[in-house]
Structure 1
Amino acid sequence: MNTGRVVLITGTSSGIGLAAAVQAAQAGYTVVATMRDTTRSDALLKAAAEAGVTVDVRRLDVTDPESVAACVTAVADSYGRLDALVNNAGRANTFATIETCDLATYREVIEVNFLGVVAVTRAGLPHLRAAGGRIVTVGSTRGLIGQPFNEGYSAAKFAVEGFMESLAPTAAGMGVRVVMVEPGPVFETAFGANSGLTRESLLTEAGPYRRVLEPYLDWVARGAHPGAQTGREIAEHIVTALTDPEPPFRVLTSDWAREYTAIKYTDPEGGRVRAMTASWLAREED
């Protein structure tokens, strides 16, 4: 049954965003599924058809202020309301450290993963205030504990954390709830694949940092993330964050994520976190 509520979701061409768009439609939302390139909507439309639901696909580039404004305005004009916003669009991590990664790449990572969230949130807030709606943003455990060779991505996600944690009480005072959904590693998503990175290319470009990048990539390849989840599993938490009458500010999507981030909250001086992350860069013989 259609609830009459309208949700705009960014980054829906694959992975978490695609699954969230389909599941939100199944939950009765009118779903505006946005993506930078609408020619990549086939997978979403197929999944929606198989689920027996429809979604409204629209173009939205979170790094283009005119695209953001045009899309949000058009959605409000089409439906007369906007009840929820899901900030999901993101750019893959570079797996490079600052000395070997150009600043343009860092700026792009921060532009998409942080400033894009700010821009879409800013555009949506007048309509969300009118509806007494909510903002659900997909964060990451990498925005709670910084990871080696994830500096730009972690910095952007840390910034999202600070932005939303600061905004939450102000927005609540205007009737808008703010929720952060915090997954750990995610399987079955094109997020990493879309980056075009390979182990060989990363090691070639690492220069003197190859000696610490190689064991880190070995650690990743060994499946060092027992808490990895599918995009569909994360999407279930997003839909719950949309529908729960009293959602928490931060939703950690697995027991692994809760245990992992608890290290940070019980380590005010940073020693345990530093030892843990440093161990990922050590060769087995070291």
Structure 2
Amino acid sequence: MSATPRTVLITGTSSGIGLAVAIAAAQAGWRTVATLRDLTRADALRKAAAEAGVELDIRQLDVTDEASVTAAVDGVIADYGRLDAVVNNAGAGHLGTLENDTVADVRKVMEVNFFGVLHVSKAALPHLRTTGGRLITVTSVGGVIGQPFNEAYCAAKFAVEGYMESLAPVAQTLGVSVSVVEPGAVATEFVNNVGFDLEADIAAGPYSDALRHYIDRTVEQFLDGSAQTPAGAAEAVMGALDADRPAFRIQTSEWARTFVGTKLADVDGSAVQGLTAAWVG
């Protein structure tokens, strides 16, 4: 009699890293519940699953809606009787700076990237305790190093990293492994979904010159081939899913390891400030 397949729930699977993780997990034998906020955006996911010859259980889940989160997690338990891992991947980018953003803008970023992670994790933890499961959150190198014009986004990712770093030893006492996965630049639709009007924002306010420097540097990074593929980033997530004892902090590339290493060895902050000051001219 075959063993019961392990069940993983993944958020934000319409494209990019989440889609790649869903396919990789199914290929590795996980029973994969791939969730997304808007089911009308599931065509790419279904196509990728068909091309890979794998089955996915595609469900709706809006991380900012507690009722949606509860319904999704309860549905998985009702249908499969277990939850062995969660991958918090859903997120939203945002470019802006303090004088030009509203507080409402910042709250919206926090709702998706921080509180959304908490909603899913809180709903899942009782079931992960039962299975000795894994709670994995895709953060960013921006959760370690603050980056110009990404104040709100980095604040949310810093918050996630601090929360999970604090939670990890507590969860481990009950057999739940907690990890964060830190990608650098990844060639996904994420960068196209930051709600940014390039020409209008560059032309606005006293930060125009600095913003243009930042945009030029960032575009070059995505166009010169140095951005990682979603599949490459997904390999790191799969490592956290399948390793006997996954690390707490996992980078998805050598570039990401080097980059965050700057911060983790930067006691007085001067190395990071010197690095990011160059990005804005």
Q: Could you report, residue by residue, the CA deviation over 1:194-231 in whole angstroms, capped at 9, with x for unpaired residues?
A: 23434213313x31110211111122223288752111
Q: Using the alignment, how far apart are the partners of 2:24 and 2:46 within structure 1?
A: 13
Q: Could you report, residue by residue, the CA deviation over 1:58-87 in whole angstroms, capped at 9, with x for unpaired residues?
A: 111000011111111111111000000000
Residue 71 of structure 2 is matched in structure 1 by 70
Residue 268 of structure 2 is matched in structure 1 by 269
Q: Using the alignment, how far apart are the partners of 2:111 and 2:19 within structure 1?
A: 22
TM-score (norm 1): 0.94
Amino acid at match of 1:281: V
Residue 17 of structure 1 is matched in structure 2 by 18
Amino acid at match of 2:275: M
State yes or no: 1:211 paired with 2:212: no
Q: Using the alignment, how far apart are the partners of 1:150 and 1:2 within structure 2?
A: 45
Q: Could you report, residue by residue, the CA deviation over 1:148-183 in whole angstroms, capped at 9, with x for unpaired residues?
A: 100000000000100100000011101000111111
Q: Using the alignment, how far apart are the partners of 1:215 and 1:246 within structure 2?
A: 42
Q: Using the alignment, how far apart are the partners of 2:267 and 2:4 within structure 1?
A: 44
Residue 233 of structure 1 is matched in structure 2 by 232
Q: Using the alignment, how far apart are the partners of 2:225 and 2:183 within structure 1?
A: 13
TM-score (norm 2): 0.96
**Percent identity of paired positions between Structure 1 and Structure 2:** 54
Q: Using the alignment, how far apart are the partners of 2:123 and 2:195 within structure 1?
A: 31
Q: Could you report, residue by residue, the CA deviation over 1:116-143 in whole angstroms, capped at 9, with x for unpaired residues?
A: 0011000000000001100111010011
8 A Cα contact 1:3 1:29, kept in partner: no
Residue 139 of structure 2 is matched in structure 1 by 139
Amino acid at match of 2:269: G
SS at match of 1:191: helix
8 A Cα contact 1:181 1:238, kept in partner: yes
Paired residues, number? 279
Q: Could you report, residue by residue, the CA deviation over 1:28-58 in whole angstroms, capped at 9, with x for unpaired residues?
A: 0111110100111110011001101010111
What is the correspondence of 1:39-188 to structure 2 with a 5 Å cutoff? Answer: 39-93=40-94, 95-187=95-187
Q: Using the alignment, how far apart are the partners of 2:70 and 2:158 within structure 1?
A: 25
Q: Using the alignment, how far apart are the partners of 1:248 and 1:121 within structure 2?
A: 18
Query: Structure 1: where are the runs of 5+ without partners?
Result: none
Residue 245 of structure 2 is matched in structure 1 by 246
SS at match of 1:251: strand
Q: Using the alignment, how far apart are the partners of 2:118 and 2:13 within structure 1?
A: 18
8 A Cα contact 2:35 2:60, kept in partner: yes
One of 218, 224, 234 as aligned partner of 1:220? 218
Q: Using the alignment, how far apart are the partners of 1:172 and 1:163 within structure 2?
A: 14
Q: Using the alignment, how far apart are the partners of 1:226 and 1:255 within structure 2?
A: 15
Amino acid at match of 2:210: V
Q: Using the alignment, how far apart are the partners of 1:260 and 1:2 within structure 2?
A: 41
SS at match of 1:120: helix
What is the correspondence of 1:182-201 to structure 2 with a 5 Å cutoff? Answer: 182-187=182-187, 189-201=188-200
Give the alignment's Cα RMSD to 1 decimal.
1.5
Q: Using the alignment, how far apart are the partners of 1:13 and 1:201 within structure 2?
A: 29
Amino acid at match of 1:221: V
SS at match of 1:147: coil
Please identify, of 219-228 and 172-181, the stretch whose mean Cα deviation from structure 2 is larger.
219-228
SS at match of 2:267: coil
Please identify, of 31-40 and 217-226, the stretch whose mean Cα deviation from structure 2 is larger.
217-226
Q: Using the alignment, how far apart are the partners of 2:46 and 2:111 within structure 1?
A: 28
